[in-house]
Amino acid sequence: MRSSSAACGSAPLKESDIYPLFARKPKRVDLVVRAARDRKLGGGGTMFEAVSAWSVLGGQIVEVAPKGIGDKGRMAKVLLKAGTVTVKRPARGCSKTDPQTLTLTVVEAAEIDAPEGAAPLLWRLAATLPAQNLEQAMDAVRLYRLRWRIEQLFRTLKKDGLDLEATQIEEASSIMKLAALGTVASCRIMQLADARDGSKRPATDAIAPEQIEVAAAISDSLEGRTERQKNPWQKGSLAWLAWIAARLGGWNCYYKKPGPKTMADGWKRLRAMLEGAAIAIGRLQLV
């Protein structure tokens, strides 16, 4: 969840580091939010000052996502700290019904030995979950990292994939149904995009076993003369199926890897071809 507007006395932020978000959360909901501001504490001092005085619980390796074209991302070694703080309600912008203080968990993941020229990773996570030991701190980091997957899912659901925003449906209930179906389809597209560099998962995660041979015939028809234009993955694997979808989506086997939009276009064509083959085979069996 993000906010791009000023709230509770804060400047415009990309993250959801907003006091009312924590103060008004439902009881059965927990939050893990990237802390974007150094909040004042009820007993004096600030949140980041308190964290700097805590002891290191341990370390872990986390994957840093690419930040743009040409950036391959990296695996970062981080040291983890965790504890609780009691933050004060900001002086301006909040409702008087919001509590004057909130007790939050803070988990810090600070990178060590960052590559030359790379800004060291530093995540300070404000959470409503406990983090009393290394395992719980690592779980908070794991949950925060899922944010990138969620963003990829919505990216696939929108213009970079299914372009759900282009729908002309206006009725709320119909939009909800369309969004539910689109979310399932987006998950499938992400599965294929994840498998493009190789995957041990079977193609039957995405298609029925009886469709493997039809997909194999489609794969053969898409291969070119050069080695780079041949499907390099084992028949029946998800990576093999991802190659087929990418080719049907317009990927030429060269240059950059196929992204969600290419996979979405290819998956639409592949599904139609598989369904058409099923109808044709059914008719042949009836003759």
Of 117, 147, 177, the last residue of a domain is 147
End residue of a domain, out of 85, 113, 147: 147
**Pair (171, 130) in one structural domain:** no
Do 51 and 94 share a domain, yes or no? yes
- Closest to 207 in 3D by CA, of 198, 218, 222: 218
pTM of the model: 0.70
Residues 113 and 206 in one domain: no
Is there a domain that residue 7 lies in?
A: no
Domain of 75, CATH number, reads 3.90.350.10
CA-only gyration radius of the chain, Å? 24
* One domain for residues 133 and 222: no
* Residue-number span of the structural domain to which 259 is assigned: 164-286
31 and 98 share one domain: yes
pLDDT value at residue 8: 43
Q: What is the pLDDT of residue 1?
A: 32
> Are residues 169 and 263 located together in one domain of the fold?
yes
Spatial distance between the Cα atoms of 15 and 227, rounded to a whole number of angstroms: 46
Torsion angle of C-alpha atoms 131, 67, 159, 207, degrees rounded to 10: -70
β 32-34/58-64 pair status: unpaired
The Cα 16–Cα 5 span in angstroms is: 10
Task: Name the strand (E) or helix (H) holding 92.
Answer: none
- Rounded to an integer, what distance in angstroms lies between the CA atom of residue 42 and that of residue 263? 51
Task: Sort strands 74-88 and 58-64 into parallel, antiparallel or unpaired.
Answer: antiparallel
The domain that holds 282 is classified in CATH as: 1.10.740.10
Q: With bands split at pLDDT 50, 70 and 90, how would you rate the model's confidence at 161?
A: confident
| Helices assigned H by DSSP within the chain | 19-23, 47-52, 134-157, 172-194, 212-222, 238-248, 260-286
Whole-angstrom distance, CA of residue 234 vs CA of residue 244: 12
User: Of 121, 147, 173, which residue sits at a domain end?
Assistant: 147
Asked if 149 and 92 touch (Cβ cutoff 8 Å), the reply is: no
For tokens 């080719």, the residue is 247
Instruction: Supply the pLDDT for residue 286.
Output: 55
What's the CA gap between 134 and 195, in Å, rounded? 31
- 92 within a domain of the structure (yes/no): yes
Q: Say if residues 9 and 90 touch (Cβ distance below 8 Å).
A: yes
Shared domain for 191 and 142, answered yes or no, is no
Asked if residue 9 belongs to a domain, the reply is no
Predicted local confidence at residue 6, as pLDDT: 34
Residue 14 inside a domain? The answer is no
Residue 12 placed within a domain = no
Number of domains comprising the chain: 2
Clarify whether residues 25 and 136 are in a common domain: yes
Looking at residue 22, its pLDDT comes to 93
Tens-digit pLDDT profile for residues 232-267: 999 999 999 999 999 999 999 887 888 888 998 999
Q: Are residues 129 and 234 in the same domain?
A: no
